[in-house]
Structure formats: structure tokens, C-alpha cells
Amino acid sequence: MTEDQLQIAAMRWIRLAYPKAVSFHVANERKTSPMRGGKLKKMGVLAGVPDIHILEPSKIYCGLFIELKTEKGRLTPSQKDVIERIENAGYRCAVCRSLDEVIDLVDDYFG
């Protein structure tokens, strides 16, 4: 499964399983010209932001962020940095490599 396919499957499942949860994806991975990329950066695009955001608190965390990777995919330095910053801010953040991992994580998060 490609990362795009995993993204689509994960969002489809999250929205079916937890329809009232505010969940979304920020399209940071888009290809663009250097000029447009500079403008997007000035507008607030942040390299390393995880793929899925769920803005619903749990008993412990303020919200949940999920970074999706293929089996062989690796975190970039900016992803490692942003994940650490998100966790330090009181959010749950995890890397998932399959739909089963997403399902287990989200079900556990909502308890």
C-alpha cells in the first residue's frame, strides 16, 4: 500500500468510525514552484507536520496527530522535530505504517 492509499483508507475509516470527531489532513507534501513554496511558508506551512489531525481531546491528551509511513518509510528530521514539539504541547502523536495500526491507535485514543 502506498502512503496515499493508506491516507485515504485511514481517513475513510476515521470518519466512519468517529463521525463527530474533527479530523483532517494538511496537504504539506504538494509539489510547487520555489516562489509559491516561499509564499506558502510565509502563510504558515510547516515542514514535518503529521498527516492526520484529530482535534478531539481524550482523558489524557488535547488531540491526536498521526504520521503515516509505508513499511520502509523513514521520518525526516523535520518530522521528528515537529512530533516532539507536538508531544511536548500535550498532544498524542504516533507513526502508523498500516490501516490496522491506525485503527488500533484511534480506538485506543478514544478508549
Helices 99-110 and 3-17 sit at what angle, rounded to 10 degrees? Answer: 30
Q: Would the pTM count as exceeding 0.85? A: yes
Model pLDDT for residues 17-29, shown as the tens digit of each residue: 999 999 999 877 6
Identify the pLDDT of residue 31.
75
Identify the pLDDT of residue 41.
82
Query: Which CATH number characterizes residue 59's domain?
Result: 3.40.1350.10
Domain count, the chain: 1
Model pLDDT for residues 90-111, shown as the tens digit of each residue: 999 999 999 999 999 999 999 9
Q: Look at residue 34 and tell me whether its pLDDT is greater than 90.
A: no
- H or E element, residue 97: none
In which domain, by residue range, is 57 found? 3-110
Model pLDDT for residues 38-87, shown as the tens digit of each residue: 888 888 888 899 999 999 999 999 999 999 999 999 999 999 999 999 99
Report the C-alpha gap between 107 and 111 in whole angstroms. Answer: 6
Report the C-alpha gap between 60 and 4 in whole angstroms. Answer: 30
Identify the pLDDT of residue 3.
92
Q: Look at residue 30 and tell me whether its pLDDT is greater than 70.
A: no
